Amino acid sequence: MTDEPPAYVLDTGPLSHFAKAQWLGVLKTVLKEHRVCIPDIVREEVRQGIPHHPHLRSVLDETPWIEVVPLDTEAQLSAFSHYAKRLVGPDGRNAGECGVLALAETTPGAIAVIDDRVATEAIRGRPVVVRRTLGLLCEAIRAGLLTVPLVSALADDLLESRYRIPFGTGGFAAWAEAQGLL
């Protein structure tokens, strides 16, 4: 056992959401006690996404605190292959998520931050811990780093694109309030 705080391994999706809202600094503050890394394959996805999503440039330019880790050991490639079998189709999408899960799985005490439901299904029976972006955002509210209206706006975006949870746009704040979540 180690007393070191867990490392967080970030996926392209969460990074993109934070970059779009210009909250990379907030993310840094939220995770300041932790080692934060991305696999090289996620950095490549971010790089390739810049022409269509210019806000991603800040992920490359403004995050010296994020460590880029190549996946090249046998264990990492084996884990990568396991996830690719479930997530990657002929178009090659989701390779980044496979990299995140493989890195988190092979880094002691690491936590993957990943939003895709299939990705979280794919970890069944695997020694890897996953958290979702929404969880990090709620934590940031509790830490006084973000306000509910700001998170609500981002939550809407997340809920629409990722979670398919049946409450409408703008519903997060009221829901979270009612649940005593915040």
Note whether 149 binds another protein by CB under 8 A. no
Amino acid at 110: A
- The least distance separating another protein from the CB of residue 125, rounded to whole angstroms, comes to 11
Complex with another protein: residue 22 or 73, whichever CB lies closer: 73
Note whether 95 binds another protein by CB under 8 A. yes
- The least distance separating another protein from the CB of residue 145, rounded to whole angstroms, comes to 16
Closest CA to 30 of 45, 10, 47: 10
Note whether 44 binds another protein by CB under 8 A. yes
Residue 170: partners with Cβ closer than 8 Å, 6 or more residues away: 152, 156
- The least distance separating another protein from the CB of residue 102, rounded to whole angstroms, comes to 7
Q: Are the C-beta atoms of residues 115 and 11 closer than 8 Å to each other?
A: yes
Task: Give Rg (Cα) of the chain.
Answer: 16
Q: How many residues of this chain bind another protein (CB under 8 A)?
A: 46
Closest CA to 128 of 140, 113, 144: 113
Amino acid at 39: P
Residues in contact with another protein by CB under 8 A are: 39-41, 44, 70-73, 76-78, 80-81, 84-95, 98-99, 102, 115-118, 121-122, 132, 134-135, 138, 163-167, 175-176, 181
